[in-house]
A = this chain, B = another copy of it.
Amino acid sequence: MSTRPTDEGLALSVEVVVFGVDDSDLKLLARRREGEPFAGRWALPGGLVGGDEALEGAARRVLAEAGGVSPAYLEQLYTFGAIDRDPRRRTVSVAYYGLVRLADPRAPASAPEGGAAWFVASAAPRLALDHDEIAATARRRLQAKVRYEPIGFELLPRKFTLSQLQALYEVILERALDKRNFRKKILAMDLLADSGKVEADVARRPARLYRFDERRYRRLCKQGFNFEV
């Protein structure tokens, strides 16, 4: 029965798995490690939690530092605490996962700052420590959660077409969806507001642009509505 006190060398950190969607790929943010061990290897953004810092605050801070990213959605994922997950010292890591709008002009997809880079999630390099496991857990969680909570919208620009939305779900869920059924279902939920506008600068029939109506969503939720795709 192990009762060595906590402080004897136990460290607490956060790691953050950030997803974005660019065109038709689910992307993942990684950065090169600066410190030992595994300096120079790719890893998730992360770092120690300050003694007077909230956990989610620490997650946002490490993201701001690594890549200058500010996620539209951020949720605690799981806490990884295997005894030997870090070779230096016992480190317990609270993992978060987040979503960012890559298509937004404000978050240039290709060039995050500070040694960070976006990878297609299914073709990312191996990450240091147990970060591959953390990323895989985040991916499964995203896949599950996107089906019963409308968090997918956080990955699109504010105004989007139904085709963009469908493509997004197809990328995350890794399977094709029927166009008519998808549109029927989404529109029937009455969560999208028609912006009245259409796409510009496309060499084909332009599509209508919709917005996710968060007020209406919250109102419906109170009445027992359940999002599901």
Contact = CB atoms under 8 A, between A and B. Distances in A.
Interface of A: 1-13, 48-55, 57-58, 61, 76, 78-79, 81-83, 90, 92, 94
B1 A51 contact: no
A58 B6 CA distance: 11
Contacts of A10: 12, 49, 51
A94 B76 contact: no
B94 A51 contact: no
A78 to B, nearest CB: 6
A195 to B, nearest CB: 34
A15 B10 CA distance: 18
Nearest to A55: B81
A155 to B, nearest CB: 23
A48 B90 contact: no
A8 B10 CA distance: 11
B12 A92 contact: yes
Nearest to A9: B51
17 contacts: A2-B50, A3-B50, A4-B51, A4-B52, A5-B50, A6-B49, A6-B50, A6-B51, A12-B92, A52-B83, A54-B82, A55-B79, A55-B81, A55-B92, A76-B79, A79-B94, A92-B94
